[in-house]
Amino acid sequence: MRFWRYLIVLMSLVFVSSVIAAEEQNKATEEFKPFLTVKLVDEAGKPVVGAQTGMVVTVNGYDPNQGANWTFGHFELKSDSEGLIRFRDPDQYRGMVYARHAGRGLVAVKRTDLIEDKQSPLVLTMYPECHVTWQIKSSQLKRIGKETGAIRGISGSENMYCQWCQDTGSTLHFFLPPGEFSLVGHSSQINPVEKTIVIKAGQTEYDAGTADASAKKWILLEGKPAPEIVDIQEWKNGPVKLSQLRGKVVILEFWGWWCGPCVLSGIPELFKLREEYSQDELAIVGIHTPYGEDDEVDSVKELDARLEKVQKEVWKGKQLDFPVALIRFQKLPYTPEGEPIANAKMNVEYGINSFPSTIVIDRQGNIFGNLKLWKQSDRDKLKQLINAK
């Protein structure tokens, strides 16, 4: 699970100060000289013209007759008449170059930030792509009549992701050159599964088989009593026990100061809910969990210091006025036979491995589900639960 752990860092460890700085800057990339120039050539050494690359390379759907629906994000670049791609803005560069020429079926994948002595241009050879398929299922969910949810996949090379896949049903599709790659499949309903594959030169199709993923624990707990909050270092605006909140609908918000989506959108959504519903109707409890030892906060004073800038510039002066449990960092397995990749006991108790995660508990103290409060349909579910007195 090395690649999955590294991927979580890339996806979740969004340092707030960097995000704020990026929002404040509105740069025109034309003003910058290229910090990296890549020349794409085919196996004969000839320039590949019109190959695409981007910050986020994703297959958004696949049809056996029409093929894949591709997107390269807002920062798409194309190789010019000499096969050159010029990277000008470091904020739009992740260290990984994934280039694809759709018409010729050529791809190149290379992590370039690890190359100490880069020549300019850096020559990358494009090879005929191999179409990789990988099916994801969950017999555990099937037994209880639940669906896996929308399956998403990531392929990675040299411990960095290179291609995403989504909206392709239970079968993931990747288009990769020869080499060794890590694949990860996951959804909101299942725990991530990982597989390493090796594509040989000249190989055009690769069936990675079928993975049987386990269900996330919160799904197995639906309709059952919510586990109590444990392993707390200190409370902000607390303490509180879930048993004391019976009779109210409860939101348990799993988040961290280190998580960009948490502080930029998750917490502001809770501010809106606090204005909409009284504390007698809806109780909100934050579960602050660290990603690693450097992200752990063991006091309210330290948490407030970490959030000082985001509180001022993103929350517009609003403060956390609901109880927040500062949870202790420790590496634990999600399942008895698994690797220790969970970062807190509470994450194991609820099966949480993405942030923010919003667990809703009904008035009887039973888990209702994991809702995405930015979705209107989930907001409607929450409203119905609160109104059903």
CATH number of the domain bearing residue 192 = 2.60.40.10
Asked if residue 107 belongs to a domain, the reply is: yes
Asked if residue 15 belongs to a domain, the reply is: no
Asked if residue 62 belongs to a domain, the reply is: yes
Same domain, 184 and 228: no
pLDDT > 50? residue 21:
no
Q: Convert the pLDDT of each residue in 108-160 to its tens digit.
A: 999 998 888 888 999 999 999 999 999 999 999 999 999 999 999 999 999 99
Q: Identify the burial level of 236 via C-beta atoms within 10 angstroms of its C-beta, where 0-12 means exposed, 13-18 middle and 19 or more buried.
A: buried
Same domain, 194 and 242: no
pLDDT > 80? residue 20:
no
Strand (E) or helix (H) holding 198: strand 193-199
What total of structural domains would you count in the chain?
A: 2
Query: Tokens standing for 38?
Result: 């890549």
Same domain, 207 and 345: no
pLDDT of residue 249: 98
Spatial distance between the Cα atoms of 209 and 172, rounded to a whole number of angstroms: 11
The last residue of a domain, from among 156, 183, 212: 212
Same domain, 39 and 168: yes
Spatial distance between the Cα atoms of 120 and 39, rounded to a whole number of angstroms: 9
pLDDT > 70? residue 30:
no
Which spans in the chain are helix H?
2-12, 16-24, 139-143, 217-220, 260-261, 267-276, 300-313, 345-350, 376-387
Amino acid at site 178: P
Same domain, 225 and 202: no
Asked if residue 282 belongs to a domain, the reply is: yes
Same domain, 121 and 253: no
DSSP 47: B
- Residue 137 pairs with which residues in a beta bridge? 212
pLDDT of residue 296: 92
* Contact between residue 205 and residue 129 where contact means Cβ atoms under 8 Å apart: no
Asked if residue 21 belongs to a domain, the reply is: no
Asked if residue 5 belongs to a domain, the reply is: no
SS3 call for 20: helix
Same domain, 228 and 277: yes
Asked if residue 17 belongs to a domain, the reply is: no
Asked if residue 22 belongs to a domain, the reply is: no
Print the domain residue range for 221. 217-387
pLDDT > 70? residue 170:
yes
Q: What mean pLDDT comes out for the span 272-292?
A: 95
Same domain, 204 and 246: no
Q: Domain containing 338 — which CATH number?
A: 3.40.30.10
User: The tokens 């989930």 sit on which residue?
Assistant: 378
Strand (E) or helix (H) holding 196: strand 193-199
The last residue of a domain, from among 147, 179, 212: 212
Same domain, 143 and 206: yes
pLDDT of residue 185: 94
Same domain, 222 and 257: yes
Q: Convert the pLDDT of each residue in 218-263 to its tens digit.
A: 999 999 999 999 999 999 998 999 999 999 999 999 999 999 999 9
The last residue of a domain, from among 212, 244, 262: 212
pLDDT of residue 211: 95
Q: Which of 131, 130, 133, 154 is nearest to 58 (CA)?
A: 154
pLDDT of residue 19: 43
Q: Convert the pLDDT of each residue in 364-376 to its tens digit.
A: 999 999 999 999 9
pLDDT > 90? residue 192:
no
The residues near 258 (Cβ < 8 Å, ≥ 6 apart) are 12, 13, 14, 15, 16, 290, 291, 295
Same domain, 190 and 271: no
Same domain, 171 and 273: no
* Contact between residue 84 and residue 37 where contact means Cβ atoms under 8 Å apart: yes
Length of the chain: 389
